[in-house]
Every structure is written in structure tokens, then in C-alpha cells.
Amino acid sequence: MSTDPTTEATGEDARFSTTQKLKTASSILSIAAITLAKRDLGTKDKSQVRGPSLLWRFATSHPAGALGYLVWGGRKPSA
């Protein structure tokens, strides 16, 4: 049975390196942010969104835009 000396030296399992775990976690968080932002944008009226809705629809296609929308783009519903 052959083993990889680089993973043996670091003590990491070759199947799940730290880099792979970080990439997977980052991908999951990105997808979650985009899904949340798009769902929120789809349920809000235009008056409840700061700025043009069409611009936010394009921006939320990227994780940074989705986070931006979640932080600054959506207004809280008036009570």
C-alpha cells in the first residue's frame, strides 16, 4: 500500500485536506447567501428595496453582491 509522503508528514488525511474543507465551506456559504438574497428580493415590494431592484437582481448573482444586498439593500418592513 503506497502512501503520500506529504500528507504523512503533516498528519492530514489525503482525502480531506484543510484547503478542500475551506473551499467546500466557502462554496456552501456562498450558495446560501445567494439563495437567501434572491429569495428575499423576490418576496419584497419595490418600495422595500433600496435602489433599483433590477440592479440588485444582477448583483445577487455573486456572493459579494448577495451579502451587500442582505446588509444594505433590503429595508425592514414598516411596523
The answer to whether residue 6 is domain-embedded is no
Q: Which residue segment(s) compose the domain that 21 sits in?
A: 17-73
Percentage of the chain lying above the pLDDT 90 cut = 63
pLDDT greater than 70 at residue 49: yes
CA 74 to chain centre: 17
Q: Which residue, 52, 43, 51, is CA-closest to 77? A: 43
> Does residue 43 belong to any structural domain of this protein?
yes
Residue 7: pLDDT band (50, 70, 90) is: low
Residue 4 domain-assigned?
no
Residue at 21 is within a domain: yes
Residue range 11-28, pLDDT digits in tens:
656 677 899 999 999 999
Q: How many domains does the chain have?
A: 1
> What confidence score (pLDDT) does residue 67 get?
95
In a domain, 10, yes or no: no
Q: Is residue 27 part of a domain?
A: yes
Q: How far apart are CA 57 and CA 42, in angstroms?
A: 9
Q: Is residue 36 predicted with pLDDT exceeding 60?
A: yes
In one letter, which amino acid is 37? A
* Residue 79 within any structural domain of the chain: no
Give one word for 70, left, alpha or beta, with left for phi > 0 and alpha for psi -120 to 50: alpha
